[in-house]
């Protein structure tokens, strides 16, 4: 076991260094470009002569308008289309980042969008292109490798093994000090790919013809903030065609979803005790049924009902017809903004959990089963930022679901020197760092199996932290109080 651990550590050390670099440092050569009116054959020659897998299409002012890759060229040239203008073939609006963006951002975008190249733009001008090969060629156990292994796997048993690999790799990255923001994104994107493949493998055994549907993620998966200890929170939105109607379609989808939920449980994502899963007919709904359900939540006046419904407002499509999920999200954003009473109650519920700070500059630790003198970093820490960011984002109609992205979108000064917004985000991620470290140190994470208790997985004894960590955690909790004060002011609580 020690030898395996050392081997994994050595293989991930290079990856961590790559992910920590700014994209500009990975640009090793001027970008290879081609005008849009040039032929496909010309573009192919340019790529061959420069030994590259892509060419950026630029306009008369040398501004990028699209990108063409080797894969794009093969089918067109084989079909006799070599004389066509390359602009007809290009992928428009290619994904682009600044030279100051971190390499992990490019890696996650590549994985999320299924692309292999990201443009690097400095002040609107093309500075270079970073490819998947630039990021992953030297990493045998990297994000790209695991993603490819997941895509090629056809059995649930093998996918469960890859899920264990993901947790072991993530545990080692925690040990090496990888920052929590890229690490939670790393875990979430790989879990997305795993879930998508489970769905694809399972779908082959079910007749879902003439049904448009989208698998939805809620909660931490919807926010791209998964840690090691996370259960399933999912649902389905669908549209049925034919004589069977929505009732028959729901029966088929629920049967399919039940098998997916069981398979995900085998991969280490426990079945939700609250039955917030796609196999629950109450969460396998048509678009109109979802609208009716959300309307009921908006009219609710019971705080507990709001707490139960809150994670649904973090919905994100994972697989299927994304247009159904997009329609639902757009409808929710418009409806919520005009429902002041609901927003007021949502903000009020976000102030109920209190940071565990004592009166005499200490921690308000409590005894819990299996965890004497402990504090819950999730319930009384990270969740405060999550709930506050959700309320602020919904009030402003912000569609993104990630907590840090929500805060950057709704609060002023993000990215400016001395920004209070950046300090709030740093506080949130410091708490996340301690959560990840606590969970990664558990035997379950090392073995690549799920944790037995989410409450225990998020509890620490503050006396076990060194003085610096104690001081930093207290400051993070003070920022949790600060964002709750912001809610009280904005919503006049």
- Torsional class of 319: left (φ above 0), alpha (ψ -120 to 50), beta (otherwise): beta
* pLDDT score at 309: 82
Read off the pLDDT of each residue in 285-301 and give the average, rounded to a whole number.
89
Helices (H) and strands (E) in the chain, counts: 20, 14
Answer yes or no: is pLDDT of 387 > 90.
yes
β pairing state of 54-58 and 64-69: antiparallel
CA–CA dist 163, 192 (Å, integer):
11
CA–CA dist 212, 180 (Å, integer):
36
More confident residue, 19 or 22: 22
Backbone angles phi, psi at 460, to 5 degrees: -135, 155
CA–CA dist 235, 239 (Å, integer):
14
* pLDDT score at 181: 85
What separation in angstroms does the CA of 180 have from each of 244, 369, 427?
47, 28, 11
Backbone angles phi, psi at 235, to 5 degrees: -160, -175
Read off the pLDDT of each residue in 178-183 and give the average, rounded to a whole number.
83
Q: Mean pLDDT in the chain?
A: 85
Would you list the domain boundaries of the chain?
Answer: 18-136, 143-320, 366-490
CA–CA dist 147, 153 (Å, integer):
10
Q: What percent of the chain has pLDDT over 90?
A: 47
Q: What angle do CA 182, 186, 187 make, to 5 degrees?
A: 125
Superfamily of domain 143-320: Beta Polymerase, domain 2 (3.30.460.10)
* 106-161 tens-digit pLDDT: 877 776 677 888 999 987 788 899 887 777 543 444 566 677 889 889 999 999 99
More confident residue, 418 or 447: 418
Q: Which residues of 329-339 are buried (b: 16+ CB within 10 A; e: fewer)?
A: beebbeebeeb
Those residues whose C-beta lies under 8 Å from the C-beta of residue 490, and which sit 6 or more positions away, are: 347, 392, 395
Read off the pLDDT of each residue in 249-271 and give the average, rounded to a whole number.
95
Instruction: Give DSSP secondary structure letters for 166-177.
Output: HHHHHHHHHHTT
CATH of 366-490, one of 2.60.40, 1.10.3470, 1.20.120, 3.40.50: 1.20.120
Answer yes or no: is pLDDT of 15 > 60.
no
Read off the pLDDT of each residue in 7-35 and give the average, rounded to a whole number.
65
Superfamily of domain 18-136: CBS-domain (3.10.580.10)
* pLDDT score at 411: 92
* pLDDT score at 337: 87
Q: For the full predicted model, state whether its pTM sits above 0.85.
A: no
* pLDDT score at 212: 94
* pLDDT score at 183: 83
* 123-135 tens-digit pLDDT: 778 889 988 777 7
Read off the pLDDT of each residue in 414-442 and give the average, rounded to a whole number.
89
CA–CA dist 104, 389 (Å, integer):
23
CA–CA dist 319, 199 (Å, integer):
8
* pLDDT score at 137: 41
């Amino acid at each position: 076991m020690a030898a395996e651990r050392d081997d994994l550590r050595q293989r991930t050390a290079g990856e961590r260094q790559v992910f920590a670099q700014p994209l500009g440092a990975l640009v090793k050569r001027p970008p290879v470009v081609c005008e849009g009116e040039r032929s496909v054959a010309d573009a192919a020659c340019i790529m061959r002569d420069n030994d590259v897998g892509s060419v950026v299409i630029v306009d008369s002012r040398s501004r990028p308008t699209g990108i063409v890759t080797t894969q794009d060229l093969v089918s067109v040239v084989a079909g006799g289309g070599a004389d066509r203008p390359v602009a007809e073939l290009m992928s428009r609006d290619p994904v682009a980042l600044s030279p100051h963006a971190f390499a992990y951002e490019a890696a996650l975008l590549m994985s999320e969008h299924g692309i292999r190249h990201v443009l690097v733009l400095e002040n609107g001008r093309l500075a270079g292109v970073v490819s998947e090969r630039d990021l992953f060629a030297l990493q045998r156990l990297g994000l790209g490798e695991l993603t490819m292994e997941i895509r090629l796997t056809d059995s649930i048993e093998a996918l469960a093994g890859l899920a264990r690999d993901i947790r072991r790799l993530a545990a080692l990255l925690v040990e090496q000090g990888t920052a929590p923001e890229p690490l939670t994104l790393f875990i979430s994107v790989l879990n997305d790919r795993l879930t998508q493949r489970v769905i694809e493998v399972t779908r082959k055994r079910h007749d879902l013809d003439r049904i448009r549907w989208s698998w939805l993620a809620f909660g931490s998966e919807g926010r791209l903030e998964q840690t090691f200890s996370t259960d399933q929170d999912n649902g389905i939105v669908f549209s049925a065609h034919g004589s069977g109607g929505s009732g028959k379609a729901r029966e088929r989808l629920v049967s399919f979803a039940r098998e997916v939920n069981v398979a995900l449980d085998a991969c280490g994502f426990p079945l939700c005790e609250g039955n917030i899963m796609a196999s629950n007919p109450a969460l396998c709904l048509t678009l109109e049924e979802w609208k009716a359900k959300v309307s009921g939540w908006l009219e609710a006046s019971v705080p507990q009902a709001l707490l139960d419904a809150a994670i649904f407002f973090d919905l994100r499509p994972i697989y299927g017809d994304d247009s159904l999920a997009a329609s639902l999200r757009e409808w929710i954003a418009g409806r919520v903004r005009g429902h002041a009473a609901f927003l007021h109650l949502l903000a009020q519920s976000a102030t109920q959990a209190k940071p565990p700070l004592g009166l005499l500059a200490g921690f308000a630790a409590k005894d819990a089963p299996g965890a004497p003198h402990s504090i819950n970093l999730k319930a009384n820490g990270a969740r405060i930022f999550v709930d506050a960011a959700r309320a602020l984002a919904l009030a402003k109609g912000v569609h993104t679901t990630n907590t840090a992205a929500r805060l950057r979108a709704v609060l002023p000064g993000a990215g400016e020197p001395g920004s209070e917004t950046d300090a709030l985000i740093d506080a949130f991620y410091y708490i996340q760092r301690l959560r990840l470290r606590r969970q990664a140190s558990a035997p379950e994470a090392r073995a690549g199996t799920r944790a037995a208790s989410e409450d225990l997985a998020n509890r620490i004894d503050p006396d076990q932290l060194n003085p610096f960590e104690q001081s930093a955690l207290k400051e993070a909790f003070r920022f949790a109080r600060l964002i709750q004060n912001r809610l009280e002011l904005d919503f006049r609580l």
